[in-house]
Amino acid sequence: MYTKSNSLAGMNSQVQGQRIHLVSPPKSAMAPINGFFEWFGDLGIFFWRVVRAAVTPPFEFRELFRQLDEIGSKSLPLVALAGGATGVVLSLEARYSLTRFGAKSLLPAAIVFSVIHETGPIITGLVVSGRAGAGIGAELASMKVTEQIDAVEASAVNPYRLLAATRILACILMLPLLTLAADFCGLLMGWVTQALVEPLSLHQFINAGFNGATFNDFLPPTFKTAFFGLIIGSIACFQGMRTQGGAAGVGRAATSSVVLSSLFVILADVVLVKLIIILFP
């Protein structure tokens, strides 16, 4: 007979072991789930500390301007290039598809709406998460393993304020501006690609492309990238500042910063696109 007492006493038995497994999963199975919730919990605590440090003086304006340059100006060429390349690809693909369905006249509008609604913002988010996310993650991780972050703290300077808040704020402020650059390059290269196939002036392209467009088509998608900036900055700083274990740890922090921030940018985009459709019909 299978009783409560022998179920506990006979844990070595394979059959009974399986039954117990259903009630109480082994530690190894729970570890990833625990790790997942622990990571979110730690991220929440980290973010709360950063917010608290960011809104109380002294403000680290010098470091903020340095980060605006590091994240903004230095990402600009890459973002512009990626935006331009996307414009070319969009233009070629859309031309092929729309011509097949007899809607070639909609080509400028298709390019403009694709670029400003989605491609520009998401390309900017992914490029910045690759460049700045890896840079922030690796820099802070290297500072962590060489005790430089401890040295900041020992010098009576709040590292959440000096190192994290400035980088996160710089990401938030620069992402919309970089998106404008990506949009501009995408539209410009989209027009150039069209103009190379058949004569089309920039004036005609803009008139046809922006016909019927409102600020609701332009502002919400551009400003949603501030949220991407928040994600990229927070995750990269968090992964960097919790690093352990020498050079290998620095490598892991840089990789996880890029992977996680890219993943969360894409996931956030899904939610934000739906929200924008609801709030700005």
Q: Can you give the binding site for another protein, defined by CB under 8 A?
A: 49, 53, 56, 58, 142-143, 146-148, 150-151, 153-158, 160
Q: How near is the Cβ of 114 to another protein at its closest, in Å?
A: 40
Q: How near is the Cβ of 28 to another protein at its closest, in Å?
A: 18
Nearest Cα to Cα of residue 237 among 169, 156, 177, 148: 169
Q: Decide whether 99 or 146 has the Cβ nearer to another protein.
A: 146
Q: How near is the Cβ of 148 to another protein at its closest, in Å?
A: 5
The rounded distance, in Å, linking the Cα atoms of 213 and 71 is: 31
Q: Decide whether 93 or 147 has the Cβ nearer to another protein.
A: 147
Q: Decide whether 69 or 150 has the Cβ nearer to another protein.
A: 150
Question: Which three-class secondary structure string do you get for 186-209?
Answer: HHHHHHHHHHHHCCCCHHHHHHHH
Q: How near is the Cβ of 136 to another protein at its closest, in Å?
A: 13
Q: Decide whether 66 or 131 has the Cβ nearer to another protein.
A: 66
Distances (CA, A) of 172 to 13, 125, 137, 227: 57, 11, 16, 7
Residue partners of 161: CB distance under 8 A and separation at least 6: 53, 54, 56, 58, 59, 60
Q: How near is the Cβ of 108 to another protein at its closest, in Å?
A: 47
Q: Which helix (H) or strand (E) holds 68?
A: none
Q: How near is the Cβ of 150 to another protein at its closest, in Å?
A: 5
Residue partners of 50: CB distance under 8 A and separation at least 6: 160, 164, 165, 168, 234, 237
The rounded distance, in Å, linking the Cα atoms of 79 and 127 is: 6
Q: Decide whether 90 or 163 has the Cβ nearer to another protein.
A: 163
Q: How near is the Cβ of 155 to another protein at its closest, in Å?
A: 5
Q: Are 237 and 93 in contact (CB under 8 A)?
A: no
Q: Decide whether 53 or 109 has the Cβ nearer to another protein.
A: 53
For helices 166-197 and 120-128, the axis angle rounded to 10 degrees is 130
Which residue, chain included where needed, has tokens 């820099």? Answer: 139
Q: Decide whether 1 or 154 has the Cβ nearer to another protein.
A: 154
Q: Decide whether 73 or 146 has the Cβ nearer to another protein.
A: 146
The number of C-alpha atoms within 13 Å of 43 and in the hemisphere containing its C-beta is: 18
Q: How near is the Cβ of 262 to another protein at its closest, in Å?
A: 26
Stated length of the chain = 281
